[in-house]
Structure 1
Amino acid sequence: MTIADRKIGPTFSPYVIAEMSANHNGSLQTAFNIIEQAKKAGADALKIQTYRPDTITLNSSLPDFQIKDGLWAGHTLYELYEWAHTPWEWHASLFEYARKIGITIFSSPFDTTAVDLLEDLNAPAYKIASFEAIDLPLIRYVAGTGKPMIISTGMANAQEIEDAIEAARAGGCKELAILHCVSGYPAPAKDYNLRTLLDMQQRFGLVTGLSDHTLDNTTAIASIALGASIIEKHFTLDRNGGGPDDSFSLEPTELKQLCVGASTAWSALGQVDYSRKSSEIENVKFRRSLYFVKDLQIGETITADAVRSVRPGFGLSPKYLQEVIGKTATQPIFANTPVNNDVFK
């Protein structure tokens, strides 16, 4: 798939998405700073979330709407999303600033009105959040834009993932990716079962990546070796900022380390290749080879104590040791000289 002219897939360096989420903490200037720092860290894209509390939940304090445990315990859903949402009146400014400094920006819409807003801003792609992966009407509506779509699969079983893919295809989506995800905040690395990535690639045949909610970069970097083409991580300026998502987000130095590490890991994968590498050429001469360790006269038999396998590598390969022993010297041989075919018969 391609987002804003950047090709994404197994044959391209991993696409790193910095998720701002609620980490602006109600400050437009902080949001600008996050975009700028994501660019400096080397992220390919900055992602936001587009909802209002009334487009994602109901303003109710009944038990169904109470958060009783986890990071956000004590809030109602409405209170959480009022606290966490990115004001819609900011969106145009955020898109303008990201484009000005040269980083791709797109969003996760949570209802059709959000999609309409993002279309007005010419969003280059869409991300379906894990909690919305079962909202097939929303997926079909997003697919109708004709833009690339990324679906996060946290909490979804294989059938639900298949349903989401079918909805995207039915809606007209031509460029589709899925992200393996664990919707814990934070999520322990052991919950990720990264080998699932291999099955997802085989089962669904799509560009596949990782939405990583662990607290460091280890899981994300490891996923590259298993074929992840996209890495998404929450990003903040300060993990101790006190916002709803700050505590499980990367800081700028860590995001830079992720971008570099993901690219390095992908480069290291390369392809099946048993040839001698350019970095090895100068070291070939230091491999073992056969050397004479004593002087021999013309006509003497080369005995086992006259030859050793040592470094450097200017003589015959050690595999020829038994063939050399018992041969007759055809010229004077001096200790510490390489064994070559022209000195014996």
Structure 2
Amino acid sequence: MFNQSIKVSNKVIDSKSPVFIIAEIGVNHNGEVELAKKMVDEAYEANVDAVKFQSFYPEELLVESASKAPYQLNTTDVNESQFEMLKKLMLTKEEMQELKLYVEQKGLIFLSTPFDEKSLYELNEMDIPAFKISSTDTTNLLFLKKAAKLGKPILLSTGMCTKEEVAEALKVINATGNLDVILFHCTSNYPTPIDEVNMRAITSLSKEFQVLMGYSDHTEGVGISPYTIPLGVKVIEKHFTLDKRMEGPDHLASLNKEELIKLVEAIRFVESSLGDSEKKPTNSEETTKKNMQKKLVLCKEVRQNDILTEDILTAKRSDIGIPANKVFNFLGKKVKSKLSKNHILTEDDVYES
């Protein structure tokens, strides 16, 4: 069992709450605190709920011979190793603390993904309100166990994972007593081709594991995110940059400020259309219903004591009269007096035969 209402800082995330929007700064600050602050300013202007960074120490995260991912080779210097690239992009604990203070002064929520145990415990010391776990660590069960035991909500990405691997990860988290989990559908390709999004996986994951769902969107532009909301997604995360032309692995697949603003607007637009799931006339439809839904009318002249049959009754638009869906209540009844064709039937026109 998992909680269906999770608090992240001052925001409650549940089935009825607004979508929680995370602007993923990640490493798009290029290792520069002042650039990161400028990104926070622009994310604030876009009305997101949180900004998220990535915390790591290259020597803790990977071996020096580790290759770059294909998308990283396409967006960075091919002669530079992944280790060298990350060394340039990392921020220290002190720099993260400075950014956390800056973010919170803006009224936003500070989040960061820990990519190694040292970063995990440093973020915990900083009293981060939740841990976002990358898809690269969803199968890292010992790391998940240690993160879950810290007692904070877990936002768990599922890119590259099978359903069985997701189940295994949730079992490890659950075993610690930590029930505050939001599962993120994700495709770990930057940018994600539309035919690899697999939005239906959101529904199947939600049904299988009975957890709150998020979506980590790597499609281009505003992308797929708003379309996931009717499927039950309650958290949306999207990469954000100041300039897609900047050097770095993630800029090209990120939103610029104008696109981030459009994304937030699109999410709120779709959200406002969802309603409460009950099928009933809206306030504006009540007047339209009165004028446009049809009423019972005679399609021929009848005499006193004639019995109403299907060939006598029809339905036409009218402001007054008996709704057409009441027709079976009147078939077989007798009319009290002679009535002309196109007469709008009333309760007083008939009696039981």
Displacement of 1:239 in angstroms is 2.6
Secondary structure at 2:233's aligned position in 1?
Answer: coil
Alignment correspondent of 1:6: 11
Q: Deviations over 1:254-281 (max 9, x none)?
A: 3233333334434433444233222212
Residue 173 (structure 2) pairs with residue 168 (structure 1): yes
Alignment correspondent of 1:314: 320
Secondary structure at 1:209's aligned position in 2?
Answer: strand
What value does the CA root-mean-square deviation take over the aligned residues? 3.4
The farther-off stretch of 125-134 and 220-229 is: 220-229
The unaligned stretches of length 5 or more in structure 2 are 1-5
Determine the C-alpha separation between the residues in 2 that align with 1:316 and 1:157: 57
Alignment correspondent of 2:75: 71
Which residue identity lines up with residue 278 of structure 2 in the other structure? D
Residue 285 (structure 2) pairs with residue 283 (structure 1): no
Alignment correspondent of 2:212: 207
Asked if structure 2 preserves the Cα contact closer than 8 Å seen for 1:289 and 1:314, the reply is no
Q: Tell me which of 35, 38, 51 is aligned to 2:56.
A: 51
Alignment correspondent of 2:29: 24
Secondary structure at 1:231's aligned position in 2?
Answer: strand
Matches of residues 114-133 of structure 1 in structure 2 within 5 Å? 114-133=119-138
Alignment correspondent of 1:256: 261
Alignment correspondent of 2:3: none
Displacement of 1:180 in angstroms is 1.1
Matches of residues 88-167 of structure 1 in structure 2 within 5 Å? 88-167=93-172
Displacement of 1:144 in angstroms is 2.4
Secondary structure at 1:190's aligned position in 2?
Answer: helix
Secondary structure at 1:82's aligned position in 2?
Answer: helix
Secondary structure at 1:8's aligned position in 2?
Answer: strand
Displacement of 1:17 in angstroms is 1.2
Which residue identity lines up with residue 270 of structure 2 in the other structure? A
Alignment correspondent of 1:274: 279
Alignment correspondent of 1:340: 346
TM-score of the aligned structures, taking structure 1 as reference length: 0.84
Displacement of 1:114 in angstroms is 0.7
- How many residues in Structure 1 have an aligned counterpart in Structure 2? 341
Displacement of 1:200 in angstroms is 1.1
Asked if structure 2 preserves the Cα contact closer than 8 Å seen for 1:13 and 1:267, the reply is no
Q: Quick one: structure 1 residues 59 and 286, their matched pair in 2 at CA, closer, same or farther if it must change by over 3 Å?
A: same
Determine the C-alpha separation between the residues in 1 that align with 2:327 and 2:173: 66
Determine the C-alpha separation between the residues in 1 that align with 2:63 and 2:314: 83
Secondary structure at 1:269's aligned position in 2?
Answer: coil
Q: Quick one: structure 1 residues 73 and 9, their matched pair in 2 at CA, closer, same or farther if it must change by over 3 Å?
A: farther
The farther-off stretch of 217-226 and 259-268 is: 259-268
Alignment correspondent of 1:238: 243
Over the matched positions of the two proteins, sequence identity in percent amounts to 26
Displacement of 1:102 in angstroms is 0.5
Displacement of 1:217 in angstroms is 3.4
Displacement of 1:182 in angstroms is 0.6
The unaligned stretches of length 5 or more in structure 1 are none
Determine the C-alpha separation between the residues in 2 that align with 1:204 and 1:328: 61
